[in-house]
Structure 1
């Protein structure tokens, strides 16, 4: 029997699908339903909001980055067997090709609820809905949510047009409300831990959803999802002694794919969370470090001031123990971060680079780096998969640091110093789960015959 699930998509970015998704998740959870959240695409920020309202880790489902089989595996493993899985789309429903919400919906046979921003439109909304419903006959457009209704008269005009020209059920009409607006941040939306839509704001959103959306109809649609053929789900087998890997996790380092952390655990790692912002020392008895992405530039002063932590991570890397850093973690491993005002904040100094913040986005998109030389994560010849987005650039000042990867455009990436590997790309290991085994094995080997750090 298939698990109840829906995918909430939008006609375009900015139509309100994240707000609607959060409201639906929170309202269903308020009913006592176990809501398992997912996010279409490589984004880290929306999953943090999902966790905020459901209390459960949200997982990324990205056919382009991870492959269809991995997406089916992740969804089968973590879909709520006794509740409802709610998947948030990305951009517009059909945007993104292989990485689109439409591709994901067809891969998992998910019924789609389409959020339409009806501000400044009335009868024309029916044409939009009809177009989305008929563009791809293999897609199940199962419901419409009209967002930003201005008045009862506006609602009645839109409803009449939809009922006359589109056979897709209407889930409801959400009124305009600045009280539940989600402000943006330079890399996207605010993270869940610091989000302004908490407390009273979230309560107002739940009330709007309960009052204006037919949640019973939504649940019936979710329960009618078709079966998906089973996929192989052979977990990694841990071999050898257990290892302890320190994972930096706080407001500065909060971008991790949950699947990567799962793979490390399957490979035999105990993950020990620590905060470079607040902890004076590294956790004891570590064999390796994983420094994820996030917002180190927003916390550069505090990170720099925590000199004992910086010194201990430098010594850990200098000892030859494995350290892996991504994006924000890579910036932290550099000699300094230079902010927009020109202030310079010393960092760890494993790499003789300065990470310089820019006012515009410097890189965005999927990446497939090829490993040129055997490294911490993979042997030469391996093609890795991930996503890159950052506002900083690296001032190398002539420093000659070996690189492990070659990008599609010929550029070098993945900087190597002893047993430390770091770069801008956020890798997802779904297509290459052996990465986790290799990282854990390197931690085990580095700790063999000597005390953990």
Structure 2
């Protein structure tokens, strides 16, 4: 039977550049429409972990990644189509500026018919606001079919300022309202981006305050969009049936793609979570272990004192069972980790060498990694850490950009570790090869 298209209202939230307030606005829109009784499904463009945590809380539904390079076009199409079948409103937060990058937000919006809402930081600006909106809407390099549904002003100074901005808009561009400069809904940041959602005790109050501000202005609904079903793809076999995978999940190991977890389950694996910060052992009966990225550098003393967790991870490795460590997971496996203030703590010591936090960004970008006998798996890297390891690398990632810096891959027995965050749906066979005993 041929699958039918699905329809629902949809919007891609973009901006002229990073730092304009896309996440705050997307979260405010999601919370506003969710509070009006609409079913909201939400996505984040590109390889991000922190923004999706906030967006998921705002929409009260999971936030998945959409990326035409990392996941592939069919993966994006399938996610949008499935979400449209169960949602009243579908929201996508873009990445960087609207036209930035080879896999830009504009390209994604045009390919899948997503109307664009441009968020513009309007502080210290008046009629130029309209010029920016006009430029985004009429840029000659825009992909065919791109539709600018409207604009929203962020960091507005006053009601009079907002009216001036609204009057500057050319015909045909809808005013979605404005958000004032206000600490009540400002989202705090640290070195990798936003502070994690679970660390903000007042996050819901911030989201509600921003939603209230938009709803008070008569927030319009986005247009309806038709989403085509994805092309048929080979059915996944239960290659990991009966396999129990232990996954570290807490404030130190929080960077997990929901799509990775869903794929492992679709392959038949049972997932069992534990918290090294709570000094919990690797769950009994686990045949494979996943240490994702996060913020181990913010929890040096607790991780150093987590003897039960450390001993169980070491026992798992010494038994020759699969262990996959990404970025923060790699840092935890080093002999020691030094934070930006120069404080060092002993880590778990499964890998030789020292990890040191750096004052600046060390690496950023899309990467692919070759997994023996399984092919290429795609992902990304984004970190402020260096790892001084005497162990020879077993291989290196390939950066999508021709001038990108490769990341080392370290292997000892069934231990696989790298700064690369893997997007497992890009190659399910690689997931099987990494986790299957």
Structure 1 position 47 matched with structure 2 position 52: yes
Matched residue, 1:177: 182
Q: Is the 8 A contact 2:367 2:397 kept in 1?
A: no
State the Cα distance separating 1:267 from its structure 2 match. Answer: 1.0
CA contact (8 A) 1:6 1:113 kept: yes
Contact 1:13 1:92 in 2 (8 A): yes
Q: CA deviation at 1:119?
A: 1.6
Matched, 1:155 2:162: yes
What is the CA distance between 1:365 and its match in structure 2?
A: 1.1
Contact 2:99–2:106, Cα closer than 8 Å, also in 1: yes
Instruction: Give the corresponding residue for 2:199.
Output: 194
Written as runs of structure 1 = structure 2, the 5 A alignment for 1:76-95 is 76-79=81-84, 81-95=86-100
Aligned twin of 1:449: none
Instruction: Show CA shifts across 1:358-398 (max 9, x none).
Output: 11111111112345xx3xxx54xx233111111111112xx
Instruction: Give the aligned partner of residue 7 of structure 2.
Output: 2
Asked whether the 8 Å contact 1:335–1:348 carries over to 2, the reply is: yes
From the superposition, tell whether residues 305 and 51 of structure 1 become closer, same or farther in structure 2 (CA, over 3 Å): same
Question: Post-superposition shift, 1:405?
Answer: 3.5
Distance 1:240 1:229, change over 3 A: closer
Kindly indicate whether the alpha-carbon contact (under 8 Å) linking 2:32 and 2:208 is maintained by their aligned counterparts in 1: no
Corresponding residue to 1:12 among 9, 17, 27: 17
C-alpha contact 1:354 1:395 (8 A) present in aligned 2: yes
Normalised TM-score (structure 1): 0.89
Answering whether residue 406 of structure 2 is matched by residue 414 of structure 1, we say no
Q: What are the within-5 Å matches in structure 2 for residues 26-425 of structure 1?
A: 26-79=31-84, 81-98=86-103, 100-135=104-139, 136=142, 137-162=144-169, 165-195=170-200, 198-212=203-217, 214-215=218-219, 217-219=220-222, 221=223, 223=224, 225-228=225-228, 230-239=230-239, 241-371=241-371, 374=372, 379=374, 382-396=375-389, 399-407=390-398, 413-425=408-420
Using the TM superposition, give the Cα deviation of residue 169 of structure 1 relative to its aligned residue in structure 2, in angstroms: 1.4
Coordinate RMSD, CA, aligned? 2.0
CA distance in 1, matches of 2:74, 2:51: 23
How far does residue 47 in structure 1 lie from its aligned partner after superposition?
0.5
- Which deviates more from structure 2 when the two are superposed, residues 144-153 or residues 87-96? 144-153
Q: Distance in 2 between matches of 1:244 and 1:188?
A: 33
Cα distance in structure 2, aligned partners of 1:386 and 1:272: 23
Residue correspondences, number: 425
CA distance change for structure 1 residues 16 and 400 in 2, over 3 Å: closer, same or farther?
closer
Q: Secondary structure at the match of 2:433?
A: helix
Change (3 A) 1:123 1:395: same
Higher helix share: 1
**Distance verdict in 2 for CA 1:415–1:405, change over 3 Å:** same
Per-residue deviation at 1:154? 2.0
Distance 1:149-1:420 versus aligned 2 partners, 3 A rule: same
Report the equivalent of 1:447.
none
Shift of 1:108: 1.9
